[in-house]
Amino acid sequence: MRAFVFNVTIGDIKYRTRKSHRQYRQVARAESSAATAQRIVEAFAECALTQWLEDVTLAQVAALAGVTVRSVIRRFGGKEGLIAAFIEHLGPRIRVEFTGQPGNIEDAVERLVTIYERYGDGTIRNLAQESRVPALRPLLEFGRREHRQITSIQFAPWLDHLDDEERERALNALVIATDVYTWKLLRRDMGRSKSEVTEQLKRLIRAVLGEYAADRQREGD
């Protein structure tokens, strides 16, 4: 029988064990750091959605996230850094919640109203501060771009057959029909229920889409 000799020393084993432990600690620290950053961003978002931005303090954010103010400053610098992190970390989540199956009006409106019920009042408050709080501008511009882009995706089956000028007009009308101010007018100013707002938005969207379908039909005649 042939013998096999493995040249492994105790030193090799100790070195590999130390290296493995070190790598594990590095991964664990990275994951813990990412989780902490996420908590801070979510804490900031919660504060910003319920208060005027100028009233939100880093102490509030830190307390809600379970960290120190120094940790918030070290990671994000201040409110501008927190806003940038909010866009980066939570923007995609809202995009997923907002985007439904293209061509499905019912699904699109249900998602839209759900988002506005959660974020609408905070969004209106942020828009009211836009002129005097420059730090908010990137967040609000991001929201406008996302709203327009998602609207163009949701209603692509109706928009894609239009020429460029018609498509732009139709998209503008759909953005207005689904804007947070339209939701506010119906839900807050007129006191309509969530279900009534949902049905009214569906009617507005169908009216816009029907108008452009009728225009195309008239052109064909």
Domain count, the chain: 2
Could you tell me the two tokens for 188? 């807050």
pLDDT for the residue 3:
56
Domain endpoint, select from 42, 59, 86? 86
Question: 105 or 13, which is more confident?
Answer: 105
Same domain, 132 and 185: yes
Residue type, 131: S
Same domain, 72 and 125: no
pLDDT for the residue 123:
92
Please give the average per-residue pLDDT across 64-78, as a whole number: 95
Same domain, 159 and 213: yes
Distance CA 115, CA 212 (A): 27
CATH of the domain at 44: 1.10.357.10
Distance CA 148, CA 117 (A): 19
User: Is the Cβ–Cβ distance between 98 and 150 less than 8 Å?
Assistant: yes
Same domain, 175 and 79: no
pLDDT for the residue 37:
93
Same domain, 80 and 21: yes
**Confidence bin at 14 (pLDDT 50/70/90):** low
Domain endpoint, select from 86, 107, 127? 86
Per residue in 17-61, pLDDT (tens digit) is 665 656 655 555 655 788 999 999 999 988 988 899 889 999 999
Same domain, 72 and 104: no
What DSSP string runs through the chain? ---------HHHHHHHHHHHHHHHHHHHHHHHHHHHHHHHHHHHHHHHHHS-GGG--HHHHHHHHTS-HHHHHHHH-SHHHHHHHHHHHHHHHHHHHH---TT-HHHHHHHHHHHHHHHHHHHHHHHHHTTT-GGGHHHHHHHHHHHHHHHHHHTHHHHTTS-HHHHHHHHHHHHHHTSHHHHHIIIIIS---HHHHHHHHHHHHHHHHHHHHHHHHHHH-
Same domain, 109 and 174: yes
- Which pTM was predicted? 0.74
**How buried is 58 (Cβ within 10 angstroms: 0-12 exposed, 13-18 middle, 19+ buried)?**
buried
What is the gyration radius of the CA atoms in the chain, in angstroms?
Answer: 26
The residue range of the domain holding 122 is: 99-221
Residue 219 domain flag: yes
Residue 172 domain flag: yes
Same domain, 21 and 121: no
Please give the average per-residue pLDDT across 164-170, as a whole number: 95
**Confidence bin at 167 (pLDDT 50/70/90):** very high
Same domain, 215 and 106: yes
Residue 5 domain flag: no
Please give the average per-residue pLDDT across 140-151, as a whole number: 92
Per residue in 86-96, pLDDT (tens digit) is 888 767 777 77
Same domain, 17 and 122: no
Give the rounded percent of residues in the chain with a pLDDT score beyond 90.
59
Please give the average per-residue pLDDT across 95-107, as a whole number: 86
Report the mean per-residue pLDDT for the chain.
85
Give the rounded percent of residues in the chain with a pLDDT score beyond 70.
81
Is the torsion defined by CA of 101, 106, 107, 110 positive or negative?
A: positive
Same domain, 80 and 185: no
